[in-house]
Amino acid sequence: MADNPGQGISIDRMTIKRSDFRTEVQYEEAKRSHRDEGHTFHIVEQGTVIIEIDFQIYHVTAPAVVYMHPNQVHRILDFGDITVSSMAIKNEDLNPDYLDFLEDIVPAKPLILTEESHTTVSTIFSLCQNFSIQKNNKLYYSLLKDSCNTLVAFLTSQFLCQTKTETHPSRFEIVSKSFKKLLEKDYRTSKRPSEYAHRLNISTAYLNECIKQTTGLSVSHSIHDRIILEAKRLLYHTDKPVKEIAFDLGYEDYPYFSKLFTKVAGMSAMTFRNKNRG
Protein backbone atom coordinates (compact mmCIF):
# COMPACT_ATOMS: atom_id res chain seq x y z
CA MET A 1 0.00 0.00 0.00
CA ALA A 2 1.12 3.58 -0.65
CA ASP A 3 2.01 5.31 2.64
CA ASN A 4 1.52 8.96 3.48
CA PRO A 5 4.66 10.00 5.41
CA GLY A 6 3.89 11.10 8.95
CA GLN A 7 0.23 10.22 8.64
CA GLY A 8 -1.69 7.17 9.73
CA ILE A 9 -3.66 6.59 6.54
CA SER A 10 -2.78 4.42 3.53
CA ILE A 11 -4.94 3.96 0.48
CA ASP A 12 -4.49 2.21 -2.85
CA ARG A 13 -6.27 0.26 -5.56
CA MET A 14 -4.34 -2.58 -7.17
CA THR A 15 -4.72 -5.50 -9.51
CA ILE A 16 -2.68 -8.57 -8.59
CA LYS A 17 -2.12 -11.48 -10.95
CA ARG A 18 -0.52 -14.83 -10.29
CA SER A 19 1.71 -14.14 -13.27
CA ASP A 20 3.16 -11.11 -11.41
CA PHE A 21 5.16 -13.58 -9.29
CA ARG A 22 7.96 -14.94 -11.43
CA THR A 23 8.98 -17.67 -9.01
CA GLU A 24 7.26 -19.86 -6.42
CA VAL A 25 9.52 -18.27 -3.78
CA GLN A 26 8.12 -14.81 -4.57
CA TYR A 27 4.60 -16.19 -4.41
CA GLU A 28 5.19 -17.83 -1.02
CA GLU A 29 6.80 -14.65 0.31
CA ALA A 30 3.68 -12.70 -0.63
CA LYS A 31 1.61 -15.12 1.46
CA ARG A 32 3.58 -14.76 4.69
CA SER A 33 1.61 -14.02 7.84
CA HIS A 34 1.67 -10.48 9.24
CA ARG A 35 -0.09 -7.85 11.30
CA ASP A 36 -1.03 -4.40 10.05
CA GLU A 37 -0.45 -1.26 12.10
CA GLY A 38 -3.88 0.16 11.39
CA HIS A 39 -7.47 -0.94 10.91
CA THR A 40 -7.45 -2.37 7.40
CA PHE A 41 -10.29 -2.73 4.92
CA HIS A 42 -9.73 -4.70 1.72
CA ILE A 43 -12.54 -4.25 -0.81
CA VAL A 44 -12.34 -7.19 -3.21
CA GLU A 45 -13.64 -5.73 -6.46
CA GLN A 46 -12.90 -8.68 -8.75
CA GLY A 47 -11.72 -12.25 -8.33
CA THR A 48 -11.45 -14.62 -5.40
CA VAL A 49 -9.05 -15.01 -2.50
CA ILE A 50 -8.61 -17.50 0.33
CA ILE A 51 -7.45 -15.76 3.50
CA GLU A 52 -6.69 -16.91 7.03
CA ILE A 53 -7.46 -14.48 9.87
CA ASP A 54 -6.59 -15.57 13.40
CA PHE A 55 -6.50 -19.20 12.23
CA GLN A 56 -9.95 -19.06 10.64
CA ILE A 57 -10.04 -19.66 6.87
CA TYR A 58 -12.38 -17.64 4.65
CA HIS A 59 -13.12 -18.04 0.94
CA VAL A 60 -13.87 -14.56 -0.38
CA THR A 61 -15.51 -13.86 -3.74
CA ALA A 62 -16.02 -10.34 -5.12
CA PRO A 63 -17.72 -8.08 -4.34
CA ALA A 64 -16.80 -8.33 -0.66
CA VAL A 65 -14.95 -6.53 2.13
CA VAL A 66 -12.39 -8.04 4.48
CA TYR A 67 -11.76 -6.14 7.73
CA MET A 68 -8.72 -6.76 9.90
CA HIS A 69 -8.14 -5.33 13.36
CA PRO A 70 -4.52 -4.29 14.11
CA ASN A 71 -4.20 -7.16 16.61
CA GLN A 72 -5.16 -9.85 14.14
CA VAL A 73 -2.60 -12.02 12.37
CA HIS A 74 -3.50 -12.93 8.82
CA ARG A 75 -2.13 -14.35 5.61
CA ILE A 76 -3.28 -15.06 2.08
CA LEU A 77 -3.48 -18.78 1.37
CA ASP A 78 -4.31 -18.56 -2.32
CA PHE A 79 -5.79 -16.21 -4.89
CA GLY A 80 -6.62 -15.86 -8.55
CA ASP A 81 -6.32 -12.62 -10.49
CA ILE A 82 -7.85 -10.03 -8.17
CA THR A 83 -8.55 -6.30 -8.02
CA VAL A 84 -8.56 -4.89 -4.49
CA SER A 85 -9.21 -1.42 -3.11
CA SER A 86 -7.46 -1.14 0.24
CA MET A 87 -7.48 1.42 3.02
CA ALA A 88 -5.72 1.34 6.39
CA ILE A 89 -6.18 3.89 9.14
CA LYS A 90 -4.51 4.12 12.55
CA ASN A 91 -6.34 4.82 15.81
CA GLU A 92 -5.21 8.44 16.00
CA ASP A 93 -6.91 9.25 12.69
CA LEU A 94 -10.06 7.27 13.40
CA ASN A 95 -13.22 8.80 14.81
CA PRO A 96 -13.37 7.47 18.43
CA ASP A 97 -17.05 6.54 18.01
CA TYR A 98 -16.19 4.37 15.03
CA LEU A 99 -13.37 2.72 16.97
CA ASP A 100 -15.87 1.59 19.61
CA PHE A 101 -18.05 0.03 16.94
CA LEU A 102 -15.08 -1.71 15.30
CA GLU A 103 -14.13 -3.26 18.63
CA ASP A 104 -17.68 -4.64 18.82
CA ILE A 105 -17.52 -6.47 15.49
CA VAL A 106 -14.14 -8.21 15.98
CA PRO A 107 -13.72 -10.93 14.86
CA ALA A 108 -15.60 -9.97 11.69
CA LYS A 109 -16.43 -12.41 8.93
CA PRO A 110 -15.86 -11.05 5.39
CA LEU A 111 -18.79 -8.91 4.30
CA ILE A 112 -20.61 -9.83 1.10
CA LEU A 113 -21.67 -6.64 -0.68
CA THR A 114 -24.99 -6.18 -2.42
CA GLU A 115 -24.98 -4.36 -5.75
CA GLU A 116 -26.27 -1.23 -4.06
CA SER A 117 -23.76 -1.27 -1.18
CA HIS A 118 -20.92 -2.08 -3.58
CA THR A 119 -21.77 1.00 -5.64
CA THR A 120 -21.78 3.16 -2.49
CA VAL A 121 -18.47 1.72 -1.26
CA SER A 122 -16.83 2.24 -4.66
CA THR A 123 -18.04 5.84 -4.81
CA ILE A 124 -16.71 6.69 -1.34
CA PHE A 125 -13.42 4.89 -1.98
CA SER A 126 -12.90 6.82 -5.23
CA LEU A 127 -13.46 10.05 -3.30
CA CYS A 128 -10.87 8.99 -0.70
CA GLN A 129 -8.38 8.07 -3.39
CA ASN A 130 -8.96 11.38 -5.19
CA PHE A 131 -8.25 13.35 -2.01
CA SER A 132 -5.16 11.22 -1.29
CA ILE A 133 -3.35 12.68 -4.32
CA GLN A 134 -4.31 16.32 -3.68
CA LYS A 135 -1.26 17.01 -1.55
CA ASN A 136 -1.06 20.65 -2.60
CA ASN A 137 -4.52 21.32 -1.24
CA LYS A 138 -4.26 23.31 2.02
CA LEU A 139 -6.92 21.08 3.55
CA TYR A 140 -5.42 17.90 2.09
CA TYR A 141 -5.08 16.01 5.36
CA SER A 142 -8.53 16.99 6.65
CA LEU A 143 -10.17 16.00 3.38
CA LEU A 144 -8.35 12.66 3.34
CA LYS A 145 -9.06 11.84 6.98
CA ASP A 146 -12.72 12.86 6.88
CA SER A 147 -13.43 10.99 3.64
CA CYS A 148 -11.70 7.86 4.95
CA ASN A 149 -13.71 8.07 8.16
CA THR A 150 -16.85 8.25 6.02
CA LEU A 151 -15.76 5.03 4.35
CA VAL A 152 -15.10 3.43 7.75
CA ALA A 153 -18.51 4.55 9.00
CA PHE A 154 -20.37 3.08 6.04
CA LEU A 155 -18.45 -0.21 6.07
CA THR A 156 -18.86 -0.53 9.84
CA SER A 157 -22.61 0.01 9.48
CA GLN A 158 -22.71 -2.86 6.98
CA PHE A 159 -20.71 -5.15 9.26
CA LEU A 160 -23.04 -4.29 12.16
CA CYS A 161 -26.03 -5.26 10.01
CA GLN A 162 -24.29 -8.56 9.28
CA THR A 163 -23.76 -9.27 12.99
CA LYS A 164 -27.37 -8.29 13.79
CA THR A 165 -26.49 -6.17 16.81
CA GLU A 166 -29.50 -5.64 19.06
CA THR A 167 -30.87 -2.09 19.18
CA HIS A 168 -31.81 -2.52 22.83
CA PRO A 169 -29.24 -4.84 24.40
CA SER A 170 -30.11 -6.74 27.56
CA ARG A 171 -28.32 -6.19 30.87
CA PHE A 172 -26.37 -9.40 30.22
CA GLU A 173 -25.20 -8.07 26.83
CA ILE A 174 -24.20 -4.69 28.30
CA VAL A 175 -22.11 -6.36 31.01
CA SER A 176 -20.60 -8.78 28.49
CA LYS A 177 -19.58 -5.90 26.21
CA SER A 178 -17.96 -4.02 29.11
CA PHE A 179 -16.12 -7.17 30.18
CA LYS A 180 -14.87 -7.75 26.63
CA LYS A 181 -13.42 -4.22 26.49
CA LEU A 182 -11.66 -4.63 29.82
CA LEU A 183 -10.35 -8.05 28.83
CA GLU A 184 -8.98 -6.77 25.53
CA LYS A 185 -7.16 -3.98 27.34
CA ASP A 186 -5.85 -5.87 30.38
CA TYR A 187 -5.61 -9.61 29.69
CA ARG A 188 -1.84 -9.48 30.13
CA THR A 189 -2.11 -8.19 33.70
CA SER A 190 -5.55 -9.24 34.97
CA LYS A 191 -6.07 -12.98 35.03
CA ARG A 192 -8.76 -13.48 37.68
CA PRO A 193 -12.54 -13.18 37.17
CA SER A 194 -12.85 -11.37 40.50
CA GLU A 195 -10.63 -8.54 39.21
CA TYR A 196 -12.98 -7.85 36.30
CA ALA A 197 -16.09 -8.19 38.47
CA HIS A 198 -14.67 -5.66 40.95
CA ARG A 199 -13.95 -3.15 38.19
CA LEU A 200 -17.48 -3.58 36.84
CA ASN A 201 -18.94 -3.17 40.35
CA ILE A 202 -20.73 -6.51 40.24
CA SER A 203 -20.23 -9.87 41.92
CA THR A 204 -18.09 -12.55 40.31
CA ALA A 205 -21.11 -14.87 40.25
CA TYR A 206 -23.21 -12.31 38.35
CA LEU A 207 -20.39 -11.63 35.88
CA ASN A 208 -20.17 -15.37 35.23
CA GLU A 209 -23.92 -15.52 34.68
CA CYS A 210 -23.78 -12.65 32.16
CA ILE A 211 -20.88 -14.13 30.19
CA LYS A 212 -22.40 -17.61 30.12
CA GLN A 213 -25.73 -16.22 28.91
CA THR A 214 -24.11 -14.31 26.02
CA THR A 215 -21.18 -16.56 25.04
CA GLY A 216 -21.82 -19.94 26.62
CA LEU A 217 -18.44 -19.72 28.34
CA SER A 218 -17.32 -18.97 31.87
CA VAL A 219 -15.32 -15.85 32.68
CA SER A 220 -12.20 -17.95 33.34
CA HIS A 221 -12.61 -19.70 30.01
CA SER A 222 -12.99 -16.35 28.22
CA ILE A 223 -9.84 -14.98 29.87
CA HIS A 224 -7.84 -18.08 28.99
CA ASP A 225 -9.12 -18.09 25.40
CA ARG A 226 -8.01 -14.47 24.91
CA ILE A 227 -4.56 -15.12 26.39
CA ILE A 228 -3.99 -18.22 24.30
CA LEU A 229 -5.22 -16.45 21.15
CA GLU A 230 -2.46 -13.90 21.63
CA ALA A 231 0.03 -16.68 22.34
CA LYS A 232 -0.97 -18.35 19.06
CA ARG A 233 -0.52 -15.07 17.20
CA LEU A 234 2.98 -14.63 18.61
CA LEU A 235 3.94 -18.25 17.96
CA TYR A 236 2.76 -17.88 14.39
CA HIS A 237 3.91 -14.38 13.57
CA THR A 238 7.21 -14.11 15.48
CA ASP A 239 10.26 -16.22 16.27
CA LYS A 240 10.10 -15.52 20.01
CA PRO A 241 10.85 -18.51 22.25
CA VAL A 242 7.83 -19.89 24.09
CA LYS A 243 9.28 -18.81 27.46
CA GLU A 244 9.56 -15.22 26.21
CA ILE A 245 5.97 -15.32 24.93
CA ALA A 246 4.81 -16.60 28.32
CA PHE A 247 6.61 -13.73 30.05
CA ASP A 248 5.16 -11.18 27.57
CA LEU A 249 1.69 -12.44 28.49
CA GLY A 250 2.29 -12.04 32.22
CA TYR A 251 3.38 -15.56 33.18
CA GLU A 252 6.64 -15.95 35.09
CA ASP A 253 5.70 -19.58 35.81
CA TYR A 254 6.52 -21.13 32.43
CA PRO A 255 5.38 -24.69 33.31
CA TYR A 256 1.94 -23.34 34.29
CA PHE A 257 1.67 -21.38 31.03
CA SER A 258 2.74 -24.44 29.05
CA LYS A 259 0.03 -26.56 30.68
CA LEU A 260 -2.57 -23.83 30.14
CA PHE A 261 -1.69 -23.56 26.44
CA THR A 262 -1.99 -27.34 25.97
CA LYS A 263 -5.31 -27.41 27.83
CA VAL A 264 -6.87 -24.59 25.76
CA ALA A 265 -5.29 -25.30 22.36
CA GLY A 266 -5.34 -29.10 22.57
CA MET A 267 -1.63 -29.29 21.76
CA SER A 268 1.66 -27.92 23.08
CA ALA A 269 2.92 -24.50 22.05
CA MET A 270 5.80 -25.95 20.02
CA THR A 271 3.49 -28.44 18.30
CA PHE A 272 1.20 -25.54 17.36
CA ARG A 273 4.14 -23.52 15.97
CA ASN A 274 5.53 -26.43 13.98
CA LYS A 275 2.11 -27.38 12.62
CA ASN A 276 1.27 -23.88 11.43
CA ARG A 277 4.69 -22.78 10.23
CA GLY A 278 6.19 -26.00 9.03
- The 10s digit of each residue's pLDDT in 202-215 is 999 999 999 999 99
pLDDT, position 163: 72
Share of the chain above pLDDT 70, in %: 92
Burial class (CB in 10 A: 0-12, 13-18, 19+), 266: exposed
Residues of the chain with CATH 1.10.10.60: 171-277
- Average pLDDT for 251-264: 96
Look at residue 97 and tell me whether its pLDDT is greater than 70: yes
Sequence-distant (≥ 6) Cβ neighbours of residue 154 within 8 angstroms: 120, 121, 124
Q: Tell me: the pLDDT tens digits for 71-92?
A: 999 988 888 889 999 999 999 9
Select 9-163's CATH number: 3.30.360.10, 1.10.4160.10, 2.60.120.280, 3.40.50.10470: 2.60.120.280
Least confident range from 19-33, 98-112, 222-236, 253-267: namely: 19-33
Residue scoring higher pLDDT (16 or 93): 93
Residues of the chain with CATH 2.60.120.280: 9-163
Q: What is the mean pLDDT of the chain?
A: 90
Look at residue 1 and tell me whether its pLDDT is greater than 50: no
pLDDT, position 227: 97
User: Topology of domain 171-277, per CATH?
Assistant: Arc Repressor Mutant, subunit A (1.10.10)
